[in-house]
């Protein structure tokens, strides 16, 4: 991660203007979506082109499994994480084994195409209230969430990929979708801190990064978590001792617009404690932001950012399919 800005691109090929944007010193990551995908070969070519524009820039995607899987044709269908929580209730050890295998398959297939990083796993608790979370959550029990998330991230690690827990401090209770509204979670601070926050604490040093929630928790602070020093610096950094990388959720989402214009949102997120600024579906805003954004990477930021990079050389897709470890993981990942 060479800079704090995470930007996107419009299509399946890189335009000259997008290449110029990625080359800006403050851009450290490119996030891909379904619109950027045709097939594994095209994806590998696109990733190679992006990496050639700026060696060291990371390529990421929201690829969790279930309904949030950006690349489908040519990729293994990863079950919704809820299915592993349901299996855990019947057979905990088998669920942990299957979740680890799923994490390996997910990460190894992405890396085989040149994708470095996925924003997963979801650490939100399933309170049965949030439609936007729903099946993406492992369980309503924070202990089950932590154990299964740990298993998934061990699978990522075996494939050489880091991880990102989301959405801190918890998106499972608020009913509104922060893509289109600003949710509010009115619960007492003690309720949030004793349940939703706990997977982040229990995962310890294996949690490489987190993504914030565009949600207001009035009992924690009067502003959304993304812009809250009390939540990001006070709760996450100081009380939980988290020393990994902190991504804002997408600053283009409706849950962030009340924080001001794009430059103001970016400034406030950095001031609150975010290390990375996700900026999607707003290319003109990003172009205007980059010349205005003031950011200097200190030694601690560079250390946190370095942990996001993939480890080891990834096999190409044809090679991956011949590996016995990959074939065994395909057998073990089924939660049925």
Which are the catalytic amino acids? 179, 249
Closest CA to 102 of 66, 145, 141, 142: 66
Token pair belonging to 303: 């250390």
* Cα-based angle 37, 42, 43 (whole degrees, multiple of 5): 55
Q: Put residue 225 in one of left, alpha, beta given phi > 0 → left and psi -120 to 50 → alpha.
A: alpha
Tokens for 169, please give them: 């401090």
Q: How many whole angstroms separate alpha carbon 294 and alpha carbon 24?
A: 13
Which residue is associated with the tokens 């800005």?
5
How far from 34 is each of 50, 61, 200, CA to CA, in Å? 17, 9, 29
- Torsional class of 241: left (φ above 0), alpha (ψ -120 to 50), beta (otherwise): left
Reported as half-sphere exposure (CB side, CA atoms, 13 A), residue 137 has a value of: 25
> What 3-state DSSP class applies to 219?
coil
From 45, 78, 50, 48, select the one nearest 63 (Cα to Cα).
78
User: Which residues does 306 contact at the CB level (< 8 Å), separation at least 6?
Assistant: 1
Q: Using DSSP, state whether 59 is helix, strand or coil.
A: strand
Residue count of the chain, please give it.
336
* CB-side neighbour CA atoms (13 Å) of 264: 6
Which has the closest alpha carbon to 179: 251, 282, 80, 273? Answer: 251
């Amino acid at each position: 991660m060479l800079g704090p800005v995470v930007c996107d691109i419009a299509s399946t090929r890189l335009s000259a203007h997008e290449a110029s944007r990625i080359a800006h010193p403050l851009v450290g990551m490119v996030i891909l979506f379904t619109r950027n995908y045709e097939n594994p070969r095209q994806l590998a070519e696109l990733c190679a082109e992006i990496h050639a524009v700026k060696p060291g820039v990371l390529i990421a995607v929201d690829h969790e499994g279930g309904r949030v899987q950006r690349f489908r044709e040519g990729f293994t269908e990863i079950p919704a994480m809820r299915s592993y929580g349901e299996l855990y209730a019947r057979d905990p050890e088998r669920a942990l084994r299957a979740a680890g295998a799923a994490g390996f398959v997910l990460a190894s297939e992405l890396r085989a195409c040149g994708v470095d990083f996925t924003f997963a796993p979801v650490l939100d608790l399933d309170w049965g209230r949030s439609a936007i979370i729903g099946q993406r959550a492992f369980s309503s029990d924070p202990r089950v969430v932590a154990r299964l998330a740990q298993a998934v991230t061990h699978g990522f690690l075996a494939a050489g990929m880091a991880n990102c827990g989301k959405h801190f401090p918890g998106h499972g209770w608020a009913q509104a979708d922060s893509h289109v509204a600003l949710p509010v979670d009115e619960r007492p601070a003690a309720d949030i801190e004793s349940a939703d926050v706990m997977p982040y604490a229990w995962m310890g040093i294996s949690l490489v990064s987190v993504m914030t929630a565009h949600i207001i928790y009035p009992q924690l602070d009067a502003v959304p978590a993304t812009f809250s020093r009390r939540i990001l610096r006070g709760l996450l950094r100081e009380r939980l001792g988290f020393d990994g990388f902190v991504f804002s959720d997408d600053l283009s989402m409706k849950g962030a617009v009340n924080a001001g214009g794009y430059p103001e949102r970016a400034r406030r997120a950095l001031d609150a404690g975010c290390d990375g600024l996700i900026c999607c579906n707003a290319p003109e805003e990003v172009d205007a932001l980059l010349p205005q954004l003031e950011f200097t990477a200190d030694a601690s930021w560079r250390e946190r950012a370095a942990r996001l990079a993939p480890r080891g050389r990834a096999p190409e897709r044809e090679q991956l399919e011949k590996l016995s470890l990959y074939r065994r993981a395909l057998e073990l990942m089924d939660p049925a």
